[in-house]
A and B are shown apart, each in its own frame.
Chain A
Amino acid sequence: MIPNVGYFASVFAFGVALYAAVAAWYGSRKGKLAWVESARRAMVLTWPLTSISVLALIILLVTGRYEIYYVASVTSNSMPTYLKITALWGGQSGSLLFWSWLMAAFASAAGLRKWDRDREFLPWVALVTMATLAFFLSLTVFFENPFARIWQTASGEQVYALFQPADALLFVPYDGLGLNPLLRHPGMIIHPPMLYLGFVSFVIPYAFAIAALQTGRSDDRWIRITRRWTLVAWIFLTLGLILGGRWAYDVLGWGGYWGWDPVEISALMPWLAGTAFLHSVVVQEKRGMLKHWNMVLVILTYALVILGTFFTRSGLLSSVHAFAESAIGPMFLAFISIMSAASLFLLIKRWDELKGDEQLRSVLSRESLFLINNLLFMGILVVCLWGVIFPLISELITGTKLTIGEPFYELAVGPLLAGLLLLMAIAPSSTYGRTSWRRLVFAIRIPFLLSLLAPSIFIIRGIFTWYALLGYWLATFAALTTLSEFCRGAWARRQRHGESLLSALGKLIVRNRRRYGGYLVHLGVVLLVVGIMGIEMFQTETQGTLALGEQITIGRYVLIYDDLQHYPQEDVRLNTRATLSVYRHGKLVDEVNPRVDYYYDARQSMTIPGLRSTLLNDLYVILWEWESNGLEAATFKVYHNPLVNFMWLGGVVFILGTVVAAWPSHASLGGRRSMLRKLERQP
C-alpha cells in the first residue's frame, strides 16, 4: 500500500508539473490569465505531492520494508533510525526523488511569492521550473523507481518492479545491505542536501532570467528579484562544498580534503559560474552594463547544475560505456541540450534589446576589474570542465582511458587563483567610472607595505619557495585591503556620529550588508586560501610499521605506539582503535586514537584518523593496517598538515559573510527613506 501511494504521488506530481508547464505556456500565449493562475496553483501543489512520495519512502526506510529494492540496498536492521532517514539520499533513485522534492519546494515557494508587480514573469517562471521538475520526476516515474519491489521468478531470477510480474513471488530479504559506511558520517549526512539545495535554488534565478528574456524586459528587475535566491543558492552550494571537504578529511583517510575528483569538480563548476554571476550582476545594477553576459552566466550556471547531476548520476564519469548502459544518461543529455539551445535561442532573439549602457571610461575602473574577475572565474571553469571531459573524449576517440589528476589542476588553477587574489586586493579600492592610478595607489599603499611583512617572515624562517612567498603575500595583501575597507568606513562613521569604533563598525555592516557581507566573504576566501596553501605546499607525511612501544617521527613530533584494542559495537561494527602518545620537543602533549570501523552488514571499513588539532597545525594519523597475531604490529600513516584549520575557519567566515549579504534588510523602502532623510539632515 505505502509503496503504491508513494509511487503514484510521484506520478501525480509529474502530471501536475507537466500540466503547470503547458497551462502556463498556453495561458501566456493566449492571454488567458485564468490558465496562468491555474499553472501557479499547480506549481504550488507539486510540493505537497512530492512530500507524500518522500514521506512514503521514509516510512518504508524506517520500518525496514526490505521487499522494496531501494530499502534493502541502503538500510539494514542495525542502522539507527536517523541514518535510515538519511538513507533517503544514500542511493541513486532515492536521491533523484529527494532532488525533485527540493526542487518542488523551491518552485512552490516561488509560486507563493507576491507576483503583483511582475505578473508577466509568472508564466515563464512556472514553465521553466515545472519543466525542470517534470524532467526529474520523469526519471523517478519511468527509470529509477525507489518504490520498486523485489520479485523472484520461477527461474530463480530477481526482478525489480512495482507490480507483480507473471509467475513471480515477492521476495523479502531478512536484512538489508545497509548504507555505505562512508555515508554514515555527519558530514556526508548534511553534505548532499546542501549541494542539492544549492543546485535547485539556482534554478529560480535562471527561470526569472528566461522570463525576462521571453517578456522582453531588458531592465534589471529579474536580477533584483532573484538577488536573494542567488545568494541563498550560493550559501548552500558553498556549504555543500565545504562540508564535502570536511567529510573527505575525516573519513576518506588520505590526509586531504579535495582530490580533484570529477565528482567534486561537478559540484564546483556551478559554484564557479554562480560566483562569476554574483560579481557581474553588481555591474548591471550599478552601471546598466553586461546584460548579455549576465544572461549567459545564469544560463551557464543552470546548465552546469544539470550537467553536474548528470555526471554524477549517469555513471559517465567512470566510463563512457557505463553511460551507454545507463537508462537516465541519454535523458539527461537530451534535457541539457534542449534547455541550453532554447535559452541561447531566446538570448540571441533578444540580443539587440538587451544592449545596455556599455561604456567604459577607463580600463582602471571597478567595472573593468569585475570583468577581469569574470575572465579568471571562467578560466578556472574551463580548466575544470576540460579536465573532466577530456578523459571521456580520449576514451571515445582512442579507446584509452586517462587520468587527469591533481598536478594538472594545480598548475592550471594556481595562476588564475593568484590573479583573483590580486583583484581582491585592489578592486575594493577602485571606483566605478574611472579610478586614477594615484588614487588607487594612495588607497592601497599602507596595506601593500604591511603585506610585504608576510613574505619577509617566510624568508626569515628559511622558506624561499617563490610560489609560497607570492601566494602568502597576495593573501595578506587582499586581507589587509579588505580590513582597511572596514576600518575606513568605521572611522568615517565614528568621526561623523561620535560612535565608538565597535558600534560604528557594527552599524556600517548592518547598513551596508551587501557590500560588507561581500568583504567578509573575501576575508573568508583569504583564510581558505591560507589553509589550502598551507596543506598543499607544506604538508609532510611518513609511514611506518611499529610494534607496541615503538616510535615514529614527523617534523617536531614523535609518536609512540601504546596500544591496539578491538571494540565490538552494538550496531554490528567493530572498532579497531590504536592509541599513540604524541611528544613534541620531548614533552608529552597529546594522545591520538586513529581507528578503523568495520561494518559487518556492508562488509566495508571506514577509516577515522586520530587528530591533534591546533590553529596552526594538524597532526593526522591513520591506522593503515595491523596484525592480529598477538604482536599487534601496526602500520600508521602520519601527516603533518600546517594551517589546514584556517580553511575550516575561512569556510565559517565565508558562510557568515554570505548570510550577512543575503539577510533581509530592515531598511525596506520606508526604512531606507527615513535613513536617507536622517543622512540629509546631518551637516
Chain B
Amino acid sequence: MILILLLVLPATAQEPTPSDDEVNAIAKQLYCPVCENTPLDVCPTKACAQWRETIRLKLADGWSAEEIKQYFVEQYGDRVLATPPARGLNWIVYIFPPLALALGVYLLARTMRSWSSEGEMQDVPSVDADDPYIARIEEELRKRT
C-alpha cells in the first residue's frame, strides 16, 4: 500500500544547492540590517532576499556559518547579530542581569534575616486565620490525615 502511495504521490521539489533550509539556518541567526528586530530568515523585504542569496552563494563557495556571520558583521555592523558580541562595553549586557539578581537575593536574604530575628519575639497566627472557611477546611483535612 505504502509502495503504491509512494508511486502515486508526486515527486519532491528539486532543491537548489545549498537548500533554502541550509540558508535559513544561518539567516535565522542574523537580524535584518534595515528592518527593526526582524530575523533575516523571515524578513520579507527585497533587500533581505538578496542577503539570503548572498548567504547561499557564500555557502556554495564553502564558507562556514561563522565566516558568513562575520562577513555580515563586517558589512553592516554588530547589529546584525542576535546578541551583541561580548567585548568592550557590551560585557555589561551579560554581567548586569546576574549581578542585579545576586543583589536582589542578597537584599532579600538580609531583609528576611532581620525580620526573622524580630519575628522570634512574637508569635504569629498560623494558617489563614482571617478566613474561617479555609481554616475549617484545613482543620478538617488535618483531622483526616
Which A residue's beta carbon lies closest to that of B116?
A360
Most buried by A among B9, B101, B111, B132: B101
Residues of A within 8 A of B122 (CB): 359
A359-B84 in contact (CB<8A): no
> Interface 1/0s, chain A 399-413, versus B by CB < 8 A?
011111111100010
Contact of A404 with B84 at beta-carbon distance under 8 Å, contacts A286-B128, A433-B126, A545-B13 already known: yes
- Please report the C-alpha to C-alpha distance between residue A262 and residue B92 in the assembled complex, in whole angstroms: 19
Q: How far is the CB of B4 from chain A (nearest CB, A)?
A: 9
Which of B9, B80, B81, B104 has a CB less than 8 Å from the CB of A378?
Answer: B104
Q: A378-B104, A394-B90 are in contact. Are A403 and B84 (CB under 8 A)?
A: yes
Is A550 within 8 A of B44, CB to CB?
Answer: no
Contact with B along A474-489 (1 / 0, CB 8 A): 0000000000000011
Number of residues on chain A facing chain B (CB within 8 A): 80
Flag if B116 contacts A372 (CB, 8 Å): no
- The reply to whether B78 and A400 contact each other, CB–CB distance below 8 Å, is yes
Q: Please, how many angstroms separate the alpha-carbon atoms of A541 and B42 in the complex? A: 12
CB distance A549 to B10 under 8 Å?
A: yes
Interface residues of A in 354-403 (CB under 8 A from B): 357-363, 368, 371-372, 375, 378-379, 382-383, 386, 390, 394, 397-398, 400-403
- Give the residue name and chain of the B residue nearest to A680 (CB): B132
Size range of the interface on B?
Answer: 35 or more
CB–CB A489/B137 < 8 A: yes
Judging by beta carbons under 8 Å apart, are A382 and B101 in contact? Answer: yes
Taking a contact as CB atoms under 8 Å apart, the answer to whether B126 and A431 are in contact is yes
Interface status of A553 (Cβ within 8 A of chain B): yes
- Contact partner of B97 (CB less than 8 A), chosen from A394, A412, A515, A551, is A412
Contact B10 A492 (CB under 8 A): no
Instruction: Please report the C-alpha to C-alpha distance between residue A589 and residue B42 in the assembled complex, in whole angstroms.
Output: 28
Where the two chains meet, the residues of A that have a C-beta atom closer than 8 Å to any C-beta of B are 253-255, 259-262, 286-287, 289, 317-318, 357-363, 368, 371-372, 375, 378-379, 382-383, 386, 390, 394, 397-398, 400-408, 412, 416, 431-434, 442, 488-489, 492-493, 495-496, 511-512, 515, 541-547, 549-553, 558, 560, 583, 586, 605, 607, 635, 637, 675-676, 679
Known: A383-B97, A637-B42. 10 other contacts (CB 8 A): A359-B121, A359-B122, A359-B124, A361-B120, A368-B112, A405-B83, A489-B137, A543-B20, A553-B12, A607-B44
Q: What are 24 pairs between A and B in contact, CB < 8 Å?
A: A286-B128, A317-B36, A360-B119, A375-B104, A375-B105, A379-B97, A382-B97, A390-B93, A394-B84, A401-B79, A404-B84, A404-B93, A405-B31, A405-B37, A405-B39, A407-B83, A431-B126, A434-B126, A492-B141, A493-B137, A545-B20, A586-B5, A635-B20, A676-B132
